[in-house]
Structure 1
Amino acid sequence: MVVKTELKNFIDVEEIQNHLENTKEPEPKKIEAIVQRSLDKNRLEPEEVATLLNASSYEAKELIFEGAKELKQRIYGNRIVLFAPLYIGNKCINDCVYCGFRSSNREVLRKTLSMNDLETEAKALVSRGHKRLILVYGEHPLYNADFIAATVRKVYSVKEGNGEIRRVNINAAPLEVDDYKKVKEAGIGTYQIFQETYHPETYKKMHPRGPKSDFLYRLYGLDRAMEAGIDDVGIGALFGLYDWKFEVMGLLYHTIHLEERFGVGPHTISFPRIEPAIGTPITEQPPYQVSDEDFKHLVAVIRLAVPYTGLILTAREPIEIRREVLKLGVSQIDAGSNIGVGAYSTEDKEAYRKSQFSLGDTRPLDVVIRELAEDGYVPSFCTACYRLGRTGEHFMEFAIPGFVKRFCQPNAILTFFEYLNDYASSETREAGLERIREEISSIDKPEIKETLLKYCERLENGERDLYF
């Protein structure tokens, strides 16, 4: 007989509310001291994060914004990692009131990709230059661990021209430990589970039916993943369901829990805002709508709160907001995204009826890459850390002292150069090569510069997948 351990809710609502209440109207000097602690690469404590969240004056907010920009540059440099979401199926047995996939929604068209469909979709993504995907699944018995593992293997098997998918992350329902092991064996990268809202009462209202209604089971979903040996996990909250300051604190408490139990926090944090979804009225007027100004504030605070964790900014956001928020510490974005099931490989006029929500940024990948280069960023498809074992605790050993920049910048350049050779339009290639020249000229370690130039020459001559 298996005895289940009673799970403790580590999201202390009263404590969070007290922190937020007791740190109102902080002085700029206090903000400055907290920002400096973050710049020294310390994960911030709850009271410190509450203080940053309560900053209201222009001067205090500017200290936070400038600190977030500087921290991102110190740890990650100016690279931006690119990926695309690939929706495998939208069947769901949950009835989350904010989700287009919810079981009671009769307006959504249900579809699950066959393995042939999946291969076609993967080829379409590879042919545009993608190297990194996140596979997304509704919560349904069909999408079990065996099915997820099979889809991952199928995606990895796809080759098209010089291209292939080198990193498959997962956004799916929480699993049991043995099931996570099956998925890990398929070679996944990060396993991502969003708690959606960390406020228990709100969670109960938003998840009236289905397995997802169990707050604690979901909250401990990534604990089980880490017990199974998946050392890269991603957390997130859906902003707009409850007070944004509370949700940021919830993300922090989740981070602290993982650190205390496993010695390593989340690999990524996501912070999507609610966007309109077909047949889902609540998305048209979210209960706690987050303004653009507050959105920028919360992203900068998350950046400072957990210096070593990647921040993911999704294509839910409109183009101009994406440009502004990128400066505040974001390290990953999706680009060239289409979230209709099966829509990458077809001109599906009803793709929106198979989508979970609507996108704010639908620019093609090539356009996003060109604009990133013109704005001084290095687009990256790098997956070297994962294949060299620099994950989980090992990744933190590199990230916390700031060594990520030393490894990731040259690898970003190499994957960017691959893209320019194989997929870029003439305009993007021109802008990209100029960016690469500037980046290489700024490298101050002769041995890295020399090796990088040799690798670029080898890529020019037809080799692929070279990395430090």
Structure 2
Amino acid sequence: MYSEDFINDDEIFKLLEEGKNAEKNEIREIINKSLQKIRLEPIETAKLLQTEDKELQEEIFAAARKLKERIYGNRIVFFAPLYIGNKCINNCLYCGFRRDNKAIVRKTLTEEELVEQVKILESKGHKRLILVYGEHPFYNADFIANTVKIVYNTKNHNGEIRRVNINAAPMDVEGYRKLKKVGIGTFQIFQETYHHKTYNILHPQNDMKGNYPWRLYGLDRAMQGGIDDVGIGALFGLFDWKFEVMGLLYHAIHLEKTFGVGPHTISFPRIEPAINTEFYDQTKYKVSDEDFKRVVSILRLSVPYTGMILTARETPEVRREIIPLGISQIDAGSKVGIGGYTKDDYIPEKEQFHLGDIRALDTVVNEMCENGHITSFCTACYRSGRTGEDFMDMAKPGLIQKFCVPNGILTFKEYLLDYASEKTRKNGEALINKELEEIGESDPGRRKMIEEKIALLEKGERDIYV
């Protein structure tokens, strides 16, 4: 079934070579195409990647900022990861969870422990989670479906989880159908590296993960199983960053051509240290902060309609600089150790990697306020059926803001009422008022609609959305 795949290494190298020495006017034409919310072709992305002129790089950064505002406005969607278990039968050389790592304490949350973790996250204000599982037969579709049901059924006063996304091993179509039935949001699979030779070196062939095509087509099977929101990603630091950007673009194009809808999200985590894992110090492909800015901004221009995720792997300083370049989703107050939320502590022997941003959720939310960003916990599209092709039909021309802006404000208001510190509440209310004034200048009726729904929240109602 998978004798050939849609990633052609030689073609990518050829395009990257052809992309060198593009004229300034060519680069500016490509930027202008993207600003019209049109996905770029591989040769166009290759030319952006090979742009070494500092003036043009600044123009790429500026265009990424502008494009993000045009499509998603000034909102940033927040979520939290919840690691369910770290059993793993793979031996990926860069991963703290790898099978042969004896320094890792293997742990899978019991149902009672899962409930406890969810209640803690709800008590902080989270409404969106991504559940993360090691790659092990124990974490099959039935196990994952049961954990999703538990999460959705766990309430804590006004707290509830309204969207559960999944990061787990690729499944067969029937497995995905089981997860669709329990109402998952996005299913996320990172190819790790799109470079075939590097993939084979880092993932032993006799492991579950050693089959490159099985992993590459994992999201095809998810779409066939009815999951129309999927997330792609690469782990930057395993191979050349320019090649990986091209791989992500080719993956997006493949999904578009095959299913009529591209990825809901793209992620680009950078490799981080992990306990008893030497690969971090050995790799020659680490991505500098300056090149990371190029990764994010060029991906934003290449696939304008797609949500882009920046995780707490990055330090606060890096996140401040990168978020304006096209980011639409971040996590905060995160723990990546099994059971890490219980003691609000870090547990190196149970973590897949080290985090760079360990600040509390409220601290990050307040910083977003001060930088003019609306914190959104919105799950309205998912629960209103605006997913897959329906979502993309609105995202591509920028019409999704019709829903995202009011729903972002409403979920932010919920957070301010129920969970925010006094400082964050004060800054958040000022930001909402400013946002409403701007909306009212162009659409007084829309402002009135939002204010009426805010009044309902202030009276004690919850989960109000457009």
What TM-score do you get using the length of structure 1 for normalisation? 0.98
Match of 1:217 among 214, 217, 222: 214
Deviations 1:224-283 (Å, cap 9, x if unpaired)? 000001000000000000000000000001111111100000000000000000110112
Q: Which position in structure 1 is the counterpart of 2:257?
A: 260
Match of 1:159 among 150, 155, 158: 155
In 1, Cα distance between equivalents of 2:295 and 2:19: 16
Q: Which position in structure 1 is the counterpart of 2:128?
A: 132
Q: Which position in structure 2 is the counterpart of 1:342?
A: 339
In 1, Cα distance between equivalents of 2:280 and 2:85: 21
Match of 2:96 among 96, 100, 121: 100
Match of 1:64 among 60, 64, 85: 60
CA contact (8 A) 2:332 2:359 kept: yes
Report the Cα offset of residue 401 of structure 1.
1.4
In 2, Cα distance between equivalents of 1:132 and 1:29: 43
Unaligned runs of 5+ in 1: none
Q: Which position in structure 2 is the counterpart of 1:369?
A: 365
1:416 aligns with 2:424: no
CA contact (8 A) 1:155 1:165 kept: yes
Q: Which position in structure 2 is the counterpart of 1:20?
A: 16
Q: Which position in structure 2 is the counterpart of 1:466?
A: 464
Change in CA separation of 1:6 and 1:318 when aligned onto 2, cut-off 3 Å: closer
Change in CA separation of 1:7 and 1:459 when aligned onto 2, cut-off 3 Å: farther
Deviations 1:185-213 (Å, cap 9, x if unpaired)? 11100000000000000000110141100
Q: One-letter code of the match for 1:51?
A: K
CA contact (8 A) 1:275 1:284 kept: no
CA contact (8 A) 1:274 1:286 kept: no
Change in CA separation of 1:348 and 1:79 when aligned onto 2, cut-off 3 Å: closer
1:448 aligns with 2:418: no
Displaced runs of 4 or more, over 4 A: none
Q: Which position in structure 1 is the counterpart of 2:246?
A: 249
Report the Cα offset of residue 391 of structure 1.
0.4
**What SS does the corresponding residue of 2:266 show, helix, strand or coil?**
strand
Q: One-letter code of the match for 1:450?
A: K
Report the Cα offset of residue 167 of structure 1.
0.3
1:430 aligns with 2:441: no
Deviations 1:427-463 (Å, cap 9, x if unpaired)? 1101101110101111021221111001111100100
1:380-399 equivalence runs, <5 A: 380-399=376-395
**Number of equivalenced pairs:** 463
Report the Cα offset of residue 58 of structure 1.
0.9
Q: Which position in structure 1 is the counterpart of 2:311?
A: 314
Report the Cα offset of residue 286 of structure 1.
2.7
Q: One-letter code of the match for 2:379?
A: T
In 2, Cα distance between equivalents of 1:210 and 1:37: 43
1:31 aligns with 2:21: no
In 2, Cα distance between equivalents of 1:367 and 1:32: 38
Q: One-letter code of the match for 2:203?
A: H
In 2, Cα distance between equivalents of 1:455 and 1:42: 34
Q: One-letter code of the match for 1:447?
A: G
Q: One-letter code of the match for 1:180?
A: Y
In 2, Cα distance between equivalents of 1:142 and 1:365: 32
Match of 1:228 among 220, 225, 228: 225
Report the Cα offset of residue 347 of structure 1.
4.9
Q: One-letter code of the match for 1:253?
A: Y
Q: One-letter code of the match for 2:464?
A: L
1:158-307 equivalence runs, <5 A: 158-208=154-204, 209-307=206-304
CA contact (8 A) 1:139 1:173 kept: yes
Change in CA separation of 1:114 and 1:467 when aligned onto 2, cut-off 3 Å: same
Match of 1:332 among 325, 329, 332: 329
Report the Cα offset of residue 8 of structure 1.
1.9
Report the Cα offset of residue 366 of structure 1.
0.2
In 1, Cα distance between equivalents of 2:67 and 2:33: 11
In 1, Cα distance between equivalents of 2:292 and 2:464: 37
Deviations 1:94-138 (Å, cap 9, x if unpaired)? 000000000000001110000100000000000000000000000
In 1, Cα distance between equivalents of 2:133 and 2:199: 20
Indicate the RMSD between aligned Cα atoms, in angstroms.
0.9
CA contact (8 A) 1:239 1:290 kept: yes
In 2, Cα distance between equivalents of 1:283 and 1:370: 33
**What SS does the corresponding residue of 2:151 show, helix, strand or coil?**
helix
1:40 aligns with 2:36: yes
Percent identity of the aligned residues? 60
1:73-88 equivalence runs, <5 A: 73-88=69-84
CA contact (8 A) 1:27 1:60 kept: no
1:10 aligns with 2:6: yes
Report the Cα offset of residue 6 of structure 1.
3.7
Deviations 1:264-312 (Å, cap 9, x if unpaired)? 0000000000000011011234330110000000100000000000000
What TM-score do you get using the length of structure 2 for normalisation? 0.98
Q: One-letter code of the match for 1:87?
A: Y
CA contact (8 A) 2:377 2:408 kept: yes
Deviations 1:341-367 (Å, cap 9, x if unpaired)? 001012556x11100000000000000
**What SS does the corresponding residue of 1:246 show, helix, strand or coil?**
helix
Change in CA separation of 1:347 and 1:48 when aligned onto 2, cut-off 3 Å: closer
Deviations 1:312-369 (Å, cap 9, x if unpaired)? 00100111110100010000001110111001012556x1110000000000000000
CA contact (8 A) 2:168 2:188 kept: yes
Deviations 1:1-60 (Å, cap 9, x if unpaired)? xxxx24421101111101100111323221111011011111100000000001111111
